[in-house]
């Protein structure tokens, strides 16, 4: 059900772009209004969700650790797996964000001849990392259309990505890697029964949308040919807030742009918010120093206390009278 | 909001990153740049219609190279029956003689680095 719904939704988006920018000639709507709207929704929604997360108190340190905790001086602590300093947390977060360290520990349980066997399972980690790296490189490469002159690191990304010089126009490595890894991330949800059971439309929809973006992008570049100069004119106009819509860019560009706009607008409402969420995960971003520092619960109300000093002050004479020892004479 | 300092700094970094093209173009001041091609020829006709050349000249050149280098034939019959030699230097560059004002103008605008000049000598500019 989730698959059908998501696929239909993405196909509908493609059709809307085809009819709108193609048949109805609403180039301004699809080239300027929708991208801007999508960006506004993205930025406002993104900040809103981050602020909502930041408003949740985390009174106690709850990192999920998998190393020796810092304790007695002669026991070697695991500085990164069980961080107790800010630097440990930074290294741990960097490994998590850049290399998906926790996913690397992924395991898979299976019955083998009536016995439960647990083994490492790296495919998800590999496909996930391949997908994120290629998506990042693709976004970086697209900056060539948004900047003039093109910054050196964008040129480097371009050059490195087209290193194999396959086909004309050069087929980018990351384009292939992107389609293959998103394809894998989709197929695993279909073919692994347990995963299929827990997969919902909100899991399939982003995957179909990303596939749609990837396929329309590759087709736009390799097959359908759009007027690149006009595309850059539009993109540069958008960045400077005085967009012009040149005539005759080509339909496949508008399909690609509309799918991207849909993704950008959908982003804050979706699981894709893990982009920000990974930095705000209390099980990752906290140092495990519960016993080294005092962490005060933020919603503690002031408790009325009566200390021993005050008690003695109040009853000193009576205590002395019955011969009880007092600290101050 | 808890850890407001860190969260706000994080959000600001994020905003700076996603608005990179905006302030980069403001800084460079070249946001309105458009390629201005100089033909350097009186010739009115190319080996294919203008739109097709604009979109697919790289594929045409690739086919030409493979045909000449691997298969032998050197003559190309165009859509309207004319014949040209399949040669970057002798055919294309004869009219489009100013590489910097013609090829590079668009290529550097679009961030494309064609591999023509890996083998071909860059022609001397004829004014």
Write the pLDDT tens digit of every residue in A73-122. Answer: 999 999 999 999 999 999 999 999 999 999 999 998 888 899 999 999 99
Q: How far is CA B17 from CA A90, A214, A226, B25, in A?
A: 20, 23, 28, 14
| Residues on chain A touching B4 (C-beta within 8 angstroms) | 54
| Residues on chain A touching B108 (C-beta within 8 angstroms) | 149-150
Per-residue pLDDT at B125 exceeds 70: no
Q: What percent of chain B has pLDDT over 70?
A: 98
- Closest by CA position to A91, among listed A67, A107, A72, A74: A67
Per-residue pLDDT at A269 exceeds 90: yes
In a domain, B101, yes or no: yes
Listed by number, the residues of chain A in 287-326 with a beta carbon closer than 8 Å to a beta carbon of chain B are 298
Is A158 close to B113, i.e. CB distance below 8 A? yes
Q: How far is CA A32 from CA A28, A214, A225, A261, A297, in A?
A: 5, 21, 21, 10, 48
* Look-up of token digits 């993104």: A46
Q: What is the pLDDT of residue A129?
A: 97
Tell me the backbone φ, ψ of residue A116, rounded to 5 degrees. Answer: -80, 125
Question: CA B63, CA A150: separation in Å to the nearest integer?
Answer: 29
Per-residue pLDDT at B124 exceeds 80: no
Q: What is the pLDDT of residue B127?
A: 46
Give the residue from chain A lying closest to B1, CA to CA.
A55
Q: What is the pLDDT of residue A13?
A: 96
Per-residue pLDDT at A253 exceeds 80: yes
- Closest by CA position to A60, among listed A302, A301, A288, A281: A288
Nearest-Cα distance to chain B for A21, in Å, is 20
Q: Give chain B's end-to-end CA distance (angstroms, integer).
A: 67
Is A149 close to B10, i.e. CB distance below 8 A? no
Q: How many CB atoms lie within 10 A of CB A233?
A: 22
Per-residue pLDDT at B40 exceeds 80: no
B63-77 pLDDT, tens digit per residue, is 899 899 998 888 888
In a domain, B22, yes or no: no
Contacts of A96 (CB under 8 A, 6+ apart): A102, A278, A284
Strand partners, B83: B77
* Look-up of token digits 């960097």: A94
Q: What is the pLDDT of residue A1?
A: 67
Q: What percent of chain B has pLDDT over 90?
A: 25
Q: What is the ipTM of this complex?
A: 0.89
| Residues on chain B touching A47 (C-beta within 8 angstroms) | 11
Measure CB to CB from residue A54 to each of B7, B31, B33 and give the nearest one: B7
Q: pLDDT band at residue A139, thresholds of 50, 70 and 90?
A: very high
In a domain, B121, yes or no: yes
CB A77 within 8 A of CB A71: yes
Measure CB to CB from residue A236 to each of B11, B31, B55 and give the nearest one: B31
Domain count, chain B: 1
Domains, chain A? 2-321 (1.20.950.20)
In a domain, B14, yes or no: no
Question: CA A238, CA A32: separation in Å to the nearest integer?
Answer: 7
Q: pLDDT band at residue A189, thresholds of 50, 70 and 90?
A: very high
Which of A51-65, A154-168, B74-88 has the least mean pLDDT? B74-88
In a domain, B118, yes or no: yes
| Residues on chain B touching A150 (C-beta within 8 angstroms) | 108, 111
Q: What is the pLDDT of residue A169?
A: 87
Interface contact A46, partner B, CB < 8 A? yes
Q: Which residue has the higher pLDDT, B85 or A185?
A: A185
Question: CA A225, CA A40: separation in Å to the nearest integer?
Answer: 30
| Residues on chain A touching B111 (C-beta within 8 angstroms) | 144, 150, 154-155, 158
Give the residue from chain A lying closest to B61, CA to CA.
A168
Measure CB to CB from residue B59 to each of A51, A168, A228 and give the nearest one: A168
Contacts of A177 (CB under 8 A, 6+ apart): A130, A131, A133, A134
B71-85 mean pLDDT: 85
| Residues on chain A touching B3 (C-beta within 8 angstroms) | 54
Is B22 close to A240, i.e. CB distance below 8 A? yes
Provide the b/e sequence for B78-106 (b: ≥16 CB within 10 Å).
Answer: eeeeeebebbbeebbbbebbbbebbbebb
- Closest by CA position to B120, among listed B64, B80, B71: B64
Q: How many CB atoms lie within 10 A of CB A166?
A: 11
A151-175 mean pLDDT: 91
Which of A153-157, A263-267, B93-97 has the least mean pLDDT? B93-97
A164-170 mean pLDDT: 86
Is B25 close to A159, i.e. CB distance below 8 A? no
A191-205 pLDDT, tens digit per residue, is 999 899 999 999 999
Is A158 close to B20, i.e. CB distance below 8 A? no
Q: Residue B92's domain spans which residues?
A: 37-127
Per-residue pLDDT at B123 exceeds 80: no
Retrieve residue A138's tokens: 């693709």
Q: What is the pLDDT of residue B45?
A: 81
A121-141 mean pLDDT: 95
In a domain, B13, yes or no: no
Tell me the backbone φ, ψ of residue B106, rounded to 5 degrees. Answer: -80, -40
Provide the b/e sequence for A246-277 (b: ≥16 CB within 10 Å).
Answer: eeebbebbbbbbbbbbbbbbbbbeeebbeebe
In a domain, B123, yes or no: yes
Q: What percent of chain A has pLDDT over 90?
A: 77
Task: Establish whether the linkage from the previous residue to B74 is cis, with ω within 30° of 0.
Answer: no
B74-89 mean pLDDT: 85
In a domain, B25, yes or no: no
Which of A118-132, A152-166, B36-50 has the least mean pLDDT? B36-50
A19-41 mean pLDDT: 93
- Closest by CA position to A149, among listed B38, B101, B31: B31
Q: pLDDT band at residue A68, thresholds of 50, 70 and 90?
A: very high
Is A232 close to B110, i.e. CB distance below 8 A? yes
Global pTM reads 0.89
Q: How many CB atoms lie within 10 A of CB A45?
A: 18
Nearest-Cα distance to chain A for B48, in Å, is 16
Q: Tell me the pLDDT of chain A averaged across its residues.
A: 93
């Amino acid at each position: 059900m989730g698959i059908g719904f998501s696929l239909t939704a993405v196909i509908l988006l493609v059709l809307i772009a085809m009819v709108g920018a193609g048949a109805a000639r609403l180039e301004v709507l699809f080239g300027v209004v929708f991208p801007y709207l999508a960006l506004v929704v993205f930025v406002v929604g993104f900040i809103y969700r981050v602020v909502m997360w930041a408003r949740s108190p985390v009174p106690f340190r709850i990192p999920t650790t998998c190393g020796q905790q810092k304790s007695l001086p002669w026991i070697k602590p695991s500085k990164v797996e069980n961080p107790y300093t800010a630097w440990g947390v930074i290294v741990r977060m960097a490994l998590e964000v850049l290399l998906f360290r926790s996913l690397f520990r992924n395991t898979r349980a299976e019955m083998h001849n009536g016995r439960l066997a647990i083994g490492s399972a790296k495919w998800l980690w590999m496909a996930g990392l391949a997908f994120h790296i290629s998506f990042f490189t693709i976004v970086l490469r697209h900056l060539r259309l948004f900047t003039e002159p093109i910054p050196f690191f964008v040129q480097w990304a371009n050059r490195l990505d087209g290193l194999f010089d396959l086909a004309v126009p050069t087929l980018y490595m990351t384009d292939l890697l992107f389609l293959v890894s998103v394809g894998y991330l989709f197929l695993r949800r279909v073919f692994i029964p347990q995963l299929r059971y827990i997969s919902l439309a909100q899991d399939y929809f982003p995957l179909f949308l990303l596939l749609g973006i990837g396929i329309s992008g590759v087709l736009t570049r390799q097959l359908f040919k759009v007027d690149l100069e006009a595309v850059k004119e539009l993109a540069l106009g958008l960045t400077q807030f005085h967009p012009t819509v040149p005539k005759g860019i080509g339909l496949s560009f508008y399909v690609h742009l509309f799918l991207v706009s849909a993704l950008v607008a959908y982003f804050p409402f979706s699981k894709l918010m893990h982009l920000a969420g990974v930095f705000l995960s209390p099980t990752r971003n906290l140092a495990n120093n519960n016993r080294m520092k005092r962490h005060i619960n933020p919603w503690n109300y002031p408790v009325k206390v009566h200390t021993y000093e005050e008690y003695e002050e109040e009853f000193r004479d009576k205590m002395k009278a019955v011969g009880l020892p007092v600290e101050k004479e | 909001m808890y850890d407001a300092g860190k969260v706000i700094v994080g959000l600001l970094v994020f905003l700076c990153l996603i608005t990179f093209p905006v302030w980069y173009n403001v800084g460079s001041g070249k946001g309105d740049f458009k390629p201005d091609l100089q033909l350097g020829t009186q010739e009115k006709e190319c080996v294919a219609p203008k739109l097709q050349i604009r979109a697919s000249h790289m594929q045409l050149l690739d086919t030409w190279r493979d045909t000449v280098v691997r298969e032998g034939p050197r003559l190309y019959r165009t859509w309207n029956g004319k014949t040209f030699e399949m040669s970057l230097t002798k055919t294309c560059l004869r009219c489009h003689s100013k590489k910097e004002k013609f090829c590079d103008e668009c290529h550097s605008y679009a961030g494309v680095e064609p591999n023509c000049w890996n083998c071909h000598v860059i022609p001397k500019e004829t004014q």
